Structure formats: structure tokens, C-alpha cells
Chains A and B, each alone.
Chain A
Amino acid sequence: MGTRKSKAPPPAQARASMKKDLPEQFRDYRHVWVFMELERGHVHPVSFELLGEGRRLADQLGVQLAGIILGPPGDSTLHAAAEAFAYGADLVYLVEEPLLTDYRNEPFANALTDLVITHKPEILLLGATTLGRDLAGSVATTLLTGLTADCTGLDVDEDGSLAATRPTFGGSLLCTIYTLNCRPQMATVRPRVMRMPQRSNKPIGRVIRHDWRMLEEDIVTKVVGFLSDDRSGNANLAYADVVVAGGLGLSNAENLLLIKDLALTIGGDYGCSRPLVQKGWMPADRQIGQTGKTIRPKLYIAAGISGAVQHRVGVEGADLIVAINTDPHAPIFDFAHVGVVTDAVSFLPALTEAFTRRLAPANRLRLVN
């Protein structure tokens, strides 16, 4: 989308030379950190996307990129460390503590704050997930520093300050935000907004273990259960390669079957625009857009979706956007690559059929399971 392609903003005029004005106590804050989100043994892919961005920023600044791992002692943290290097980190800070098994705000915020105060990064990036946003807000408030949420573009400007660009007013505009006079400069980025970098086979490098303690008795909140959403396989819309979505143009809940059928046929996942969630036709985690998921599939097919800006910001990263809409002036045709002006309800079955035939030989395999 536009932001990422845009050049670094012009040098700030009003409060120029921000970096030079930095208060004494922040002058030695250096390096770029990426918080590696680890839950139930898995690294959230947004962490890799952030390492890709972090690498670029660190190179521009001529500093090092560190992966930050907080977790219980064991294989999962080691595995996470290995992945951090594979995705570009120069070093890893590791806090290993049994208390850090399940995410809870108190120990995580405490540990991360402690780590920042000790090792002084100038930039700290986190995923804008439920975990990342929960953590970032606490840490930034404790450190009394700036935090820019849901960035869509990160850059370093001429005097070395972080220029964080994010949508504002529902995506109709973008704004570039700086953190003045405080360190670290913190930002969160939603999953799938940034491109997934290439994984390399770099060996594990320098791992710095940070000694941190807290007593379970001092932690008020206890995790007493976890209900996984994963009922059948892994319904992870944000990371699907092919997504088919329906909007109000489908007129009723039954027609959603057409979307699901097509998705099933081409092995993709399905989603919808917000009004369908509001009508209760689909669960909230299937919503795509500003207040739903950001997706970045290789192919996105939108049927009966007008393409409002709040929807647009969630799908612009797709490689190929196909829009089916009866209205030739629908805004979705402004950012789709291929369009068909037709009634989606009668067209979708034909499209499913067309895909089925085209992919036929291999399809026999799929019918087995």
C-alpha cells in the first residue's frame, strides 16, 4: 500500500534536530529491538515480519537488531531464539522464568521494562496483537515514553529519529508520528501489514540472558483456563494464501455458502466485511479490515463488497485482488486488479465450477480427505 512505498517524510522543521536535543539520560539508548511474541510454544509470525522491518531500520541507523524473548525455560524459548537469528537478528535478549509460561500482563510488563532500563534500546517494536497491545501500553506508560499503535510504515529520518506512519480517521488519511525527547521510541504493527522476510539458515548467535525475578504470590492474575478456537485444523485467516470474502451484496446469510464453497474448492479461507458480522452472519474473527483482520494473501476475491476505506486498509497487501460487484462505480474497483461487473450470487457457482475444472487432475487427491 501507499505508505510503505512513500519516501521518508521531509525533515521535521518545527522541532528540528530532535535527536540532538535528546535529554542527557537518553543519549546512550541504541539499537533496535523486536519483541518476539511467544505463546504456547509458538512464535507469532508477526515477530518475523517485525524482524524484517527492524533489520532495515537497524541497517539505516548502523546499529544492531535484537530479538527479545520472554518465556519459560525449555525448548520453546531456544527455538524462538534460533528463529530470531534466522530472520535477521544480530543478538537475542532472553529472560527465562517459569512465571512467564502463560502471558500475563504483570510479569511480562515488569520483565520487559526491566530489560529496557538495563539495556537501553532506541527503538522497540511489538506486534499489534492482543498480547502485544496489552504489553506495549503498560511498558510505555511505565517508561513514560511515546508509543505509536498500528503502524503501516516505519522509517528512519535524516537525524536518526523513528518516523512511524499509521492510518488515522478510519484510514482516510495517514499520519507520521515522532517520539520526542523520550526513549525508547515504541511502535506496534499489525500482523500481515509488513512483508514476511526471507528466512536464512544463520546459526544461533549471541544470546544475552537477563536475570529477572518475580514471585508468583505477587502476581494477582492467574490463568485458569484456555479455550482454543481451533476446532478443525487451523483457521488463520490472516495468514491464508487465498481468501474469498463476501459483503452485503450477497443479500442473505444463505448465500455465504457460495463463498465457503469457492474457498473450499481452491483451498483458501473465507471472510467478510463488517456489516455481516454485525448482522450475525459470520463470527467477528472472520471480519477483514481496519477493525478486523489485515490479510496479505496471494489471491483475494471480494464478492459484493463495496470497498469502503475501512475494508480497503485490511486487504491492500494482497498480491492479486479480484472484485465481483454489480456496481461498475463501486470503490473496490479503484484498488482491485481484476474486476467483474456482475451479480455475485449467480457468478460465484460458475467461478467455483471454473476453478474445479481448471484444477481438476490434482483435485482427485483432495476428495480423499
Chain B
Amino acid sequence: MHIVVCIKQVPDSAQIRVHPVTNTIMRQGVPTIINPYDLFALEQALQVRDHHGGEVTVLTMGPPMAEESLRKALTYGADRAILLTDRHFAGSDTLATSFALSQAIAKIGNSFGSPDIVFTGKQTIDGDTAQVGPGIAKRLDLVQLTYVAKVTSIDLRTRAITVERRSEGGTHVLKSELPCLITMLEGSNAIRRGSLDDALRAARSEIVKWNAVEAGIEDITKCGLRGSPTVVKRVFAPTPREQKAVQIDTVEKAVQDVANELVTSIFAHQPALEHELSSTRSVSR
């Protein structure tokens, strides 16, 4: 069984700051991490491999320093890592990204065996679109299973796969076939800690680096800025609310009095609400 996992190196957005004057991102000191959702995808892939045998290849498209993330993936136990890096990829939107990744996956298939499953994360925390996974699936003509919470079973003989997929208001149980593309939801399968051997192997591995040509991409115009139908025209800061919260004074007052005052204030702001709350109310738990 051959599994490809797409991971992306992203800035740790919890630590991003915006320049107060120019509204640009201050990148100084912002560490990068593997997109957290992709770790769930990777762990699920490793579990499938451990259970059914085979290999896990991790793939990322990004700047040369994304190598760090791949090495980390190897430390967790992935078997092979490929970095897709080329100036031509700069400025890719989701359409161009999924194009480049799908070409690279096809090339991986030719070089190391056709993948049975391609995993991606549900979404990235910087792009945040959840579009790249479906984009890859379409381009490679793979069955697409998005928002998967769990891979319940795989039958290698019949090539059947059953998954649980989150949907609005519930969980669908879907039965499908390999090969397929799965986008993984966050879940309980926290990424494993690799063994010392894995860590040593990872530290020594050569990360395979492909530029566009090496990834088998013939039509460069489908990549990067040129291959992206969407363009960002303007970046700006949200307008702050003019007024700060009106504070309910608490000094030397009994808690209950403050609470009563707050309730009065709420209904003063929202007179209609009092009536609504007093009348029929169904309680959801």
C-alpha cells in the first residue's frame, strides 16, 4: 500500500503580528509549524500503513526551508519526503497549488508506485480554504472523501474503504473505493512520537527536492501567479469598533446587585429580548 500525505508549513498564526502602520505581517520571530490539521492526516496515514503495510510519502510545496517540516514528518515515522520547490510556484492560489501538487503526486506514482490513498488536512490555518484537497482529487480523478473523522476499515482485496465523514448535524458513513483522496478532520489521533531510530533516520535522510520540471510539470503557465485565477487586490485591517464596552461598576457592590444591574442594562439595550425570553423558550442541551 502506498500513501501520500500532503503537508504544509505554515506560520504559527497564534504568534502573528500585524504592523500597525503598514498593515503588513511582521514575520520577524514568527515560528513555522506543520499545519496542525495535516498532522492528523499524517497520523491516520501512519496507522493505516502500520495496519496494512506499505509506505508513507509526505509531500509539501513551499520554500526551501519547508524542508524542516518534512524532516519532522520523517521523525514521526514517514518513509519518504519530497519537497516541491521552485520560484515558478510563488504566488499560487488554491487552483495553482492543487495543480502543482497533483502533478507531483502523479510523478510520485510513477517513481515509487501509484498511491492508494492521498491524505490532506481539512484545511490550512493560513490559507484556510479547504480547497486544495478537493482540487487535487479532481485533477487526479480520485474519489474525494472530505471532512473524514475516521477511517473505519480498508479491505485491500476488494479495495473497499469505509469512512466516517462529518456533515452538518451528523456523521455520514461512506463506503467507497481505493484509490481515493481523504481530507482529515481534527480528532483524537494525536501525532505519535517517533522512536530514536526514526529520529536518527530522519536526521540523516536526504529530502528529495523537485523543481517544476523535475515534478513533471510541462505547462509552467498553470503554476504560481500566472496559473492563479484569483488575485489579492487589497489587504487591510478590520475597522475597530469605535466604542469600548460600557463597564458595569462593581466597586463596593454586592455581587447580586451588580448582576441585577447587568440584566437591567441588557434589557435596556435589547427591549424586545425580554419579551422573547419570557415567553416560549425551548431549551437545548
A136 within 8 A of B: yes
Chain B residue nearest to A325 in the complex (CB): B245
Chain B nearest Cβ from A1, distance in angstroms = 7
**B278 lies within 8 A of A359 (CB):** yes
B256-282: CB near A (< 8 Å → 1, else 0) gives: 101110110111011001101111111
A136, B228: Cα distance in complex, Å: 16
Interchain CA distance A263-B283 in the complex, whole Å:
8
- In the bound complex, CA of A335 to CA of B273 (Å): 21
Q: How many residues of B contact A (CB 8 A)?
A: 89
Q: Is B213 an interface residue (CB 8 A)?
A: no
- Chain B residues 161-185 with CB under 8 Å of chain A are 162, 165-177
- Whether A144 pairs with B95 at a CB distance below 8 angstroms is yes
Query: Which residues of chain B have C-beta atoms less than 8 A from A147's C-beta?
Result: 94-95, 129, 131, 230
The answer, yes or no, to whether A211 is at the interface (CB within 8 Å) is: no
State the Cβ distance, B69 to closest chain A Cβ, in Å: 19
Please determine whether B95 and A146 come into contact, CB atoms closer than 8 angstroms: yes
- Complex contacts, B255 vs chain A, CB 8 Å: 342, 346-347, 350
**Residue A284 at the B interface, CB < 8 A?**
yes
CA distance A351 to B185 in the complex (A): 37
Among B95, B169, B172, B276, the residue within 8 A (CB) of A225 is: B172
Chain A residues with CB under 8 Å of B262's CB are 322, 338, 340, 351, 354
- In the complex, the answer to whether B279 meets A362 with C-beta atoms within 8 Å is yes
Is the pair B270, A299 in contact by a Cβ cutoff of 8 Å? yes
Cross-chain contact B13 with A350 (CB below 8 angstroms)? no
Residue A117 interfacial (CB < 8 Å): no
Chain A residue at minimum C-beta to C-beta distance from B227: A144
Chain A CB within 8 A of B128 CB = yes
Alpha-carbon gap, A3 to B238, bound state (A): 7
User: A35 contacts the other chain (Cβ, under 8 Å)?
Assistant: no
- Closest Cβ of chain B to A121, distance in Å, is 16
Q: Are A178 and B279 in contact (CB-based, < 8 A)?
A: no
At the interface, yes or no: B144 with Cβ under 8 Å from chain A?
yes
Expressed in whole angstroms, the Cα–Cα distance for A149 and B277 within the complex equals 36
Residues of chain A with a CB closer than 8 A to B146's CB: 105, 130, 133-134
Cα A152 to Cα B119 with chains together (Å): 29
Instruction: Give chain A's interface residues, CB within 8 Å of chain B.
Output: 1-3, 5-6, 9-10, 12, 14-15, 39, 44, 102-106, 109, 129-131, 133-134, 136-138, 140-142, 144-150, 163, 167-182, 220-230, 232-236, 240-242, 260, 263-264, 266-267, 269, 284, 290-291, 298-299, 310, 319-323, 328, 332-342, 346-347, 350-351, 353-355, 357-359, 361-363, 365-366
Known: A147-B131, A182-B229. 12 other contacts (CB 8 A): A1-B238, A147-B129, A227-B170, A230-B170, A233-B284, A233-B285, A241-B276, A298-B276, A320-B270, A350-B259, A351-B259, A354-B256
Tell me the complex Cα distance, A291–B126, Å: 12
Known: A173-B25, A233-B282. A9 touches B233 (CB 8 A): yes
Instruction: Answer yes or no: B21 CB below 8 A from chain A CBs.
Output: no
Interface segment among B70-78, B108-116, B133-141, B193-201: the answer is B133-141
Question: In the complex, which residue of chain B has the Cβ closest to the Cβ of A39?
Answer: B168
Instruction: Identify the 9 closest CB pairs spanning chains A and B, nearest first.
Output: A137-B134, A267-B281, A339-B245, A2-B239, A146-B229, A225-B173, A362-B278, A146-B230, A350-B259
| B263 pairs with A358, CB closer than 8 A | yes
Which residue of the partner chain A has the closest CB to B178? A220
Report if A227-B173 is in contact (Cβ < 8 Å); known contacts: A138-B137, A338-B265, A354-B259: yes
| Interfacial chain A residues near B203, Cβ < 8 Å | none
* B221 is an interface residue with CB less than 8 A from chain A: no
- Given that A170-B13, A240-B284, A362-B278 are contacting pairs, would A342 and B232 also be in contact in the complex, using a CB cutoff of 8 Å? no
A-B contacts, 27 listed (Cβ < 8 Å): A104-B174, A131-B168, A133-B130, A133-B131, A133-B146, A134-B147, A138-B138, A138-B144, A141-B138, A144-B95, A150-B129, A168-B235, A178-B231, A224-B173, A226-B173, A228-B170, A232-B285, A260-B285, A267-B277, A320-B269, A323-B245, A332-B245, A334-B240, A337-B246, A339-B246, A342-B258, A347-B258
B284 near A232 (CB under 8 angstroms)? Answer: yes
Is B176 a contact partner of A222 (Cβ separation < 8 A)?
A: yes
When distances are taken between beta carbons in the complex, the residues of chain B under 8 Å from A341 are 247, 250
A169 contacts B25, CB within 8 Å?
Answer: yes
Q: What is the bound-complex CA distance between A284 and B185, given in angstroms?
A: 11
Contacts A173-B18, A232-B284; is A12 near B233 (CB within 8 Å)? yes
Residues of chain A lying within 8 A (CB to CB) of residue B284: 232-236, 240, 269
Q: Does B157 belong to the interface (CB within 8 Å)?
A: no
> Whole-angstrom distance between the alpha carbons of A320 and B269 in the complex?
8
Q: If the complex has contacts A177-B230, A240-B284, are A342 and B98 also in contact, measured as CB distance less than 8 A?
A: no
- Expressed in whole angstroms, the minimum distance between the Cβ of B120 and any Cβ of chain A is 11
Q: A339-B246, A341-B247 are in contact. Are A226 and B258 (CB under 8 A)?
A: no
Measured in the bound complex, the distance between the Cα atoms of B168 and A103 in whole Å is 11
